[in-house]
Amino acid sequence: MAQQDDLFSTSLPQSLWRAEVVKNQEVLIAEKQGISLSSLMERAGAASFAYLQYRWPQASKILVLAGGGNNGGDAYVVARLAKQFGIKIQLIELGKIDKLPKEAQLARDAWLAAGGQSSDWQAIDWQYDLIVDGVMGIGISTPLRPFLVQFFGHVNQQALPVLALDIPSGLCANSGRNLGAVIQASATITFIAAKQGLFTGQAANYVGDIVFAGLGLDEQFERDNSSKIALCSQQALSAMLRPRARVSHKGDFGRVVLLGGNIGMAGAIRLAAEACQRVGAGLVRVITKPEHHLVILSGRPELMVTGIEMQQPELLQDALKLASCAVLGPGLGQDEWAKGLFKQALAQNYHSVVDADGLNLLSQVPQRRSNWVLTPHPGEASRLLNCTIGEIEADRMTAAFTIQQRYGGVCVLKGAGTVIAGGNGAIKICNFGNPGMASGGMGDVLSGIIGGLIGQFAAQYSLFEIACLGVSIHSRSADLAAEMGERGMLASDLMPYIRQLVNLK
């Protein structure tokens, strides 16, 4: 079901926004349209209650948590509407009532006038069908006070379904960072515009299903503002995969070389190479240790495999000359063999994907290029920026942007809500994928996918567009593979779905 009386929609806008932009603009747009902030609060409460009825139609006893800001005002409206509908409501006030904003105070007055009562947290009996979280809105960015950390933890221990209003309390709307404790929502209904922090960082642990309510301001908001941050649009990306000409030949779709597979790590380069093939690359060559030549070739005979030692620079040079782009790093290692391959491949100066140990080598000898895609996980990103993994995860968009600015090209910061950062501040966030991807080899598959797409489309599309397409294919393939279950999913399980997705009409 996409929508209910136009009050909410399960279809999300593509543009993502910082919290302060939304807060400032909602006041200006409401004023321009002659809508009072109290009426806007009523709309938010009505949309939330409509979704509540749709999602939990049998709920007969609801706990409403109202904070001391406008988010609490939305909660008072939900409580009043639910009570008028005949639902038993217990409303807990967690803010300073004497400091409520004007509109929230009016909403509280209307709740009391409707016969509602308010209690403090000690009156909670935890015997409810649903919790409505209206404690904190999108403006919070500092650590929570100890009481709220303890209280939110107790809420989560109840394992009750939760509807969060605008954002789960305790989650930073700009970064997706946990500010000490976050109420774990089953669903989040977000208002006017989609906040960027709902889709990356730690947000996936807390937001549940995300629903959108524009409150009648969203179209004007989009017209009046522009954002360089957006979700990956599957429609826009699929348009890149047009049917091939009937007279095509393998030389039309790229000659990709993949370098890696040091001793004991043949599987990494093998996975990357097959993903490169499955996404449609015309010719795929693997340069690896001689010991791995037969095992890679026997598993996938369509590959061209060259085993090279350090003492064979001419053989390496000849193999590299046959390529139009490269994937550097899956199972590469960091010994002298790895450093030699890495250095000579970069000397070719063609489009490349740098992953895994390629990124670790890059962090040791930093350089900047415009023609590569870097695909770090948070650990590799921390080495590229010489900081901690915690600092990377605290603000993934800033981390990806900083890597892109420092090293050039495109940065793909992997993880829940993968962040793709291109030039000029452009950022895309991928909201596909699942925890089944937390297994060895998934990153190798991604590097092979992006490499194969570069081989096919570098003359037609930017590296940023290609990286976004690659991340989307990778994550959506994992979602299809996960239909059989997330636990136990292997990187190689993605291969048939990769082929399926690049051939969708």
pLDDT digits (tens, 9 = 90+) for 232-291: 987 776 788 988 989 999 998 999 999 999 999 999 999 999 999 999 999 999 999 999
Tell me how crowded residue 406 is: count the other CB atoms within 10 A of its CB: 12
pLDDT level of residue 120 (50, 70, 90 thresholds): confident
Instruction: Give the domain extent around 280.
Output: 234-239+250-501
Percentages of the chain per state (helix, strand, coil), in multiples of 5 = 45, 15, 40
Same-domain check for residues 347 and 428: yes
3-state secondary structure of 351: strand
3-state secondary structure of 465: helix
State pLDDT tens for residues 187-223.
Answer: 999 999 999 999 999 999 999 999 999 999 999 999 9
Please say if the pLDDT value at position 452 is more than 70.
yes
**The pLDDT of residue 1:** 37
State pLDDT tens for residues 295-335.
Answer: 999 889 999 999 998 778 888 888 898 899 999 999 999 99
Residue 27: which H helix or E strand, with range? Answer: helix 19-32
**The pLDDT of residue 310:** 79
Same-domain check for residues 208 and 92: yes
Contact by Cβ (8 Å): 275, 452: yes
- Flag whether 9 is in a domain: no
**The pLDDT of residue 505:** 67
Same-domain check for residues 366 and 486: yes
**The pLDDT of residue 311:** 75
| CA 368 to chain CA centroid, nearest Å | 26
**Number of domains, the chain:** 2
- Flag whether 302 is in a domain: yes
- Flag whether 1 is in a domain: no
Same-domain check for residues 114 and 157: yes
Residues 6+ apart with CB under 8 A from 382: 388, 389, 391, 392
Burial class (CB in 10 A: 0-12, 13-18, 19+), 321: exposed
pLDDT level of residue 5 (50, 70, 90 thresholds): low
Same-domain check for residues 311 and 456: yes
- Flag whether 10 is in a domain: no
CATH number at residue 56: 3.40.50.10260
Same-domain check for residues 197 and 346: no
State pLDDT tens for residues 43-93.
Answer: 999 999 999 999 999 999 999 999 999 999 999 999 999 999 999 999 999
Q: Average pLDDT for residues 389-407, to the nearest whole number?
A: 97
Report pTM: 0.95
- Flag whether 8 is in a domain: no
Average pLDDT across the chain, whole number: 95
- Flag whether 448 is in a domain: yes
Percent above pLDDT 90 for the chain: 90
Written as six digits, the tokens of 255 are 């000659």
Please say if the pLDDT value at position 139 is more than 60.
yes
CATH number at residue 363: 3.40.1190.20
Least confident of 115-124, 127-136, 253-262: 115-124
Q: Average pLDDT for residues 366-392, to the nearest whole number?
A: 97
Same-domain check for residues 261 and 198: no
Contact by Cβ (8 Å): 460, 253: no
State pLDDT tens for residues 456-484.
Answer: 999 999 999 999 999 999 999 999 999 99
- Flag whether 379 is in a domain: yes
Same-domain check for residues 24 and 112: yes
Q: What is the distance between the alpha carbons of residues 432 and 473, in angstroms, rounded to a whole number?
A: 9
Same-domain check for residues 68 and 101: yes
Same-domain check for residues 208 and 260: no
Same-domain check for residues 197 and 50: yes
Same-domain check for residues 313 and 198: no
**The pLDDT of residue 2:** 43
**The pLDDT of residue 462:** 96
Burial class (CB in 10 A: 0-12, 13-18, 19+), 135: buried
- Flag whether 244 is in a domain: no
